[in-house]
Amino acid sequence: MIDVKNVSHTYAVGTPFEKTALREISFSVSEGEFLAIAGHTGSGKSTLIQIIAGLINLQSGAVEVDGESVSVQTARRKIGIVFQYPEHQLFEETVAKDIAFGPKNFGLAEAEISKRVEEAMKFVGLELSLKDVSPFELSGGQKRRVAIAGILALKPKYLILDEPTAGLDPKARRNLLAEIKKLHRAGMTIIFVSHSMEDIANLASRVAVLAQGKILFDGEPRELFAQEKILDAAGLLPPPVTQLMLELNRAGLSVDAGAITLDEAEREILRQLK
């Protein structure tokens, strides 16, 4: 379990650029959970996940991973973080070397490293024949998979993904989301930062909404999409399907606007028309 207790964070303290990013945030993530964190640019999402991953030192409050402070290395190593546009961090000559970089730094044995590299590649759907190819010659979607494989090779218990589908085309997006779902089913705890309400609707069982450094909402995605005031305050919009159903509603069709996936919307309209 990850426990976030009363965490506040202010950048550039004592300068004219002082900016408070987080205000007394508390929540916890249970093992096996799929938590989405939503919020507009500047809402504090990135600061929050970096604090959870132990990448920013705590100013106040506490973050505990399985009961141990995240400032301790064993706790920190349980958490993997995939940044936005992670492919920008690729640097090695070959795909295999890039994925092996993290495990090597953990001091693992060669045999274990190459085993993990292969497992991670298989998991994200990269052909093993790509091992000796330069990562820079791959497509955008493939590069991103290499970057994610590099984190998976560290075998984190908790995986944080920051906007993992930004900039991907619809197919690459669907594939990547399916893989994240697979990781979750395999037992990994996922923290998924996104402003795509559609992705959140399709994946997460719980969503926390951040705005001005505070948690405005913590609950089921379905509940969130019904609360226009909160969405508005957080600068978010319901998924396109829900927007569509709301529009049908406004036009005088008595459909329940609570549908959050296309399947649900289809069923609801059929129910009304029959």
Partner 1 sequence: MISVKNLRHVYRTANGERLALDGINLEIADGEFLAVIGTNGSGKSTLAKHFNALLKPTAGKVYVDGLDTAAEENLWRVREKVGMVFQNPDNEIVAAIVEDDVAFGPENLGIAPEEIRRRVDLALETVGMTGYRNFSPSKLSGGQKQRIAIAGAVAMRTKIIVFDEPTAMLDPQGRREVLATIKKLHAQGLTAVLITHFMEEAAAAERVAVMAAGKILKVGVPREIFSDVAGMKRLGLDVPAAAELAERLRRRGFKLPEGILTAKELAAILKGK
Binding residues (CB under 8 A) for partner 1: these are 39-42, 84, 133-134, 137, 139-141, 163, 166-173, 195, 197, 235-237, 240-241, 243-244, 247-248, 250-253, 262, 265-266, 269-270, 273
Nearest approach in angstroms of CB 159 to partner 1 is 22
CB of 172 to partner 1, least distance (A): 6
User: What number of CA atoms fall less than 13 Å from residue 223's CA on the CB side?
Assistant: 11
**How far apart are alpha carbons 169 and 175 in whole angstroms?**
10
User: Which residue number, 46 or 189, has a Cβ lying nearer to partner 1?
Assistant: 46
DSSP bridge pairs for 214: 211
**Smaller CB distance to partner 1: residue 42 or 61?**
42
Q: State the nearest-atom distance from the C-beta of 235 to partner 1, in Å.
A: 4
Closer by beta carbon to partner 1, 153 or else 215: 215
Q: Is 120 exposed, middle or buried (0-12, 13-18, 19+ CB in 10 A)?
A: buried
Instruction: State which residue, 37 or 79, has the beta carbon closest to partner 1.
Output: 37
Residue indicated by tokens 């958490």: 79
Return d(Cα 14, Cα 85) in angstroms, integer: 32
**How far apart are CB 58 and partner 1 at their closest, in Å?**
24
**H or E element at residue 149:** helix 140-152
Q: What is the DSSP letter of 126?
A: -
